Structure 1
Amino acid sequence: MKRIFFLFFSLFALSLHAALQEEAVSLNTPTGTIYGRLILPDDKASFSVVALLIAGSGPTDMDGNTTMGNIKNNSLKYLAEGLAENGIPSLRFDKRGVASSAAAGLQESELRFEHYIADAKGWIDFLSADKRFTGVVVIGHSEGALIGLMACRNNPKVKGYVSLAGAGRPADEIIEAQVAAQMTPEAVQKQVADINASLKEGREVTDVPIYLQTLFRPSVQPYLISWYRYDPQKLIASLEIPKLIVQGQTDIQVSVQDAQRLKHADSRAELLLIDGMNHVLKVCNSMNPQEQMKVYADPSLPLAEGLVDALSRFIRKLS
């Protein structure tokens, strides 16, 4: 009997997966082509608003995986599939310089935060030109939430915005908090703060101590200057579209306080805290970094319960 049940379950899962359609898509930019995947529900009558998924920081691909440490969890892939199973199409893409979009990458000294914003705007235009869709909802994960905020500004093609584990503070404040959390000596914390103060004013720093070169090497400073310009609290308050802030309560990279900061900045935004959800959108009931990393690198784990349903409800209201 058990074997019959598992056979039935396997066939059901296979038929459910087969009901989804995927299209390879590409976006031409001045510095190269960026590649993505458009996933569609089988029921074409359900097409209306399409979700644009924007991945987080570092060498993160369209599925939410990163080459840094060879971490694979498939978080964004599962999110796209879950939305499609709820009748919502979505597009996700490899960031410039990553995976299939590697050729579109720039030298580190040439890369600016605005390149990522322009890419997101390009995908919004791409989706808006598709007659199958009536509008776009931007879902930004982690650093992608800040990129999404900028891409949504004054953009009538966007119907809604979701901050998914998005920071509630400017990047320089996050870096300083992370340095302090590592029990770094106060003298080094002050050096970090002084360097950040110069970068926030647009001035590169030449005399960076050797022990801070990884963080403030000369080639990355122009990117940091461009990144530090943006305050997510001010940006979310300026958006005149429906907004949803989603945050996991066991996220060790972005805190519940960050989500509450965003909510405080704009009381019109909806706030959803998901118990047990960590930064890669999976369940981890421990805040221990070692336990967290096991979840980060386990693609067999499903997304946290309630995440896909909450996003689907928000998007359906905009259709």
Structure 2
Amino acid sequence: MVFSIHATAEQVVQIPGPQGPLQGALLSGSAPSAPLVLIIPGSGPTNRDGNSPLGIGAAPYRLLAQALAARDIQTVRIDKRGMFGSRAAIADPDQVRMQDYAHDVRAWVEYLADRNSQGCIWLLGHSEGGLVALQAAQNSTGVCGLILAATPGRPMASVVRDQLEGNPANQPLLPEAMSIIRSLEQGKAVAEVSAPLEPLFRPKVQGYLISLFQLDPGQLINNISRPVLILQGTEDLQVHTKDAQALATAKPDAIVKLLPGVNHVLKEVPEGDTQANLRAYAQRDLPLAPGVVEAIVDFVKR
């Protein structure tokens, strides 16, 4: 599809996917030579706005795109292969692997970099999307640099273990859950999963989880020669400051920005108030936390 990369209003854009188009939304400001940021969504059924039918309505990606456009930074925020606007790209989204998402991001990079006056674009990956960005940027031309927001700095199996162990209600499920995680780390699917663990480990998504658990964020970021910004909120319930520190250890020249009072969906929440933190996941009218947009603008325009 041909479109003007310097349009001033949001418009749908698409590129070829494996079985149908991959789709996203372009939003840009008034500057004809503005940098362009590709926003890569996080895990599960997360759409281009950063919302999910699993109870997330905070729209962090849409709010971020609007704030960046006001500062003359263009964005394209995308729907993942097999979901939402990109649902025709594959018949069964459960068959997608992390390598497929990285392949799609490289296709977006190739398409958009050729149409951007700077000749390259910035990758902004949120949460699991940060791992996709790291994969896509391996030996990839057309990438100006990476912005890793709330991105795991350890293999995801370790992150999932921490998340499960952090909730006392999961205590009876931990022996089975840890056994499943060990099997998936070894590349082995598990045939039987108890009902309480089905949402996380159902057999149809285990192939995806195996591909996810194989990734080492430290090794991936160590291979990146482009500039990297690491954004991490101190009130993030899913990814912790130790993840940002691990990424920074693996890439000492990365810029690290810790955001006090900021949660996983980039909203400001009261310190230590878990219920208020979780409520913010559904609050679209709650603005992005102070410091989020400023850190990105400073990094991209420096």
TM-score, normalising length: structure 2: 0.91
Distance 1:286 1:194 in 2: 34
Q: Which runs of 4+ in 1 moved over 4 A?
A: 184-188
User: Pairwise mapping of residues 93-172 of structure 1 onto structure 2 (< 5 A)?
Assistant: 93-107=78-92, 109-172=94-157
Distance 1:108 1:155 in 2: 25
Q: For structure 1, which runs of at least 5 residues remain unmatched after alignment?
A: 1-18
1:105 CA drift (Å): 4.4
Q: Which amino acid in the other structure matches residue 22 of structure 1?
A: E
Q: Aligned pairs, how many?
A: 296
In structure 2, the partner of 1:295 is: 280
Distance 1:208 1:58 in 2: 19
Residues 112 and 226, structure 1, Cα contact 8 Å, conserved in 2: yes
DSSP 3-state at the match of 1:204: coil
Deviates more, 1:259-268 or 1:288-297: 288-297
1:207 CA drift (Å): 4.0
Distance 1:94 1:57 in 2: 12
Q: Does residue 249 in structure 1 map to residue 237 in structure 2?
A: no
Q: Does residue 29 in structure 1 map to residue 14 in structure 2?
A: no
Residues 12 and 26, structure 2, Cα contact 8 Å, conserved in 1: yes
In structure 1, the partner of 2:28 is: 40
In structure 1, the partner of 2:4 is: none
Aligned with 1:55 (options 41, 45, 49): 41
User: Pairwise mapping of residues 172-211 of structure 1 onto structure 2 (< 5 A)?
Assistant: 172-183=157-168, 188-211=173-196
DSSP 3-state at the match of 1:246: strand
Deviates more, 1:286-295 or 1:265-274: 286-295
1:229 CA drift (Å): 1.0
Percent of pairs with identical residues: 36
Distance 1:131 1:76 in 2: 21
1:131 CA drift (Å): 4.5
Residues 45 and 52, structure 2, Cα contact 8 Å, conserved in 1: yes
Distance 2:127 2:234 in 1: 14
Distance 1:127 1:90 in 2: 10
Q: Does residue 231 in structure 1 map to residue 216 in structure 2?
A: yes
Deviation string 1:100-153 (CA, Å, 9 cap, x unpaired) is: 223334425522122211111111111112143421111100110000000111
Seen in structure 2, the aligned counterparts of structure 1 residues 207 and 65 have a Cα distance that, compared at 3 Å, is closer
Seen in structure 2, the aligned counterparts of structure 1 residues 152 and 287 have a Cα distance that, compared at 3 Å, is same
Residues 125 and 148, structure 2, Cα contact 8 Å, conserved in 1: yes
Distance 1:160 1:185 in 2: 39
Residues 81 and 96, structure 2, Cα contact 8 Å, conserved in 1: no
Distance 1:83 1:131 in 2: 16
Residues 127 and 133, structure 1, Cα contact 8 Å, conserved in 2: no
DSSP 3-state at the match of 1:27: strand
TM-score, normalising length: structure 1: 0.87
Q: Which amino acid in the other structure matches residue 268 of structure 1?
A: D
Q: Does residue 268 in structure 1 map to residue 253 in structure 2?
A: yes
1:156 CA drift (Å): 2.0
Aligned with 2:203 (options 187, 211, 218): 218
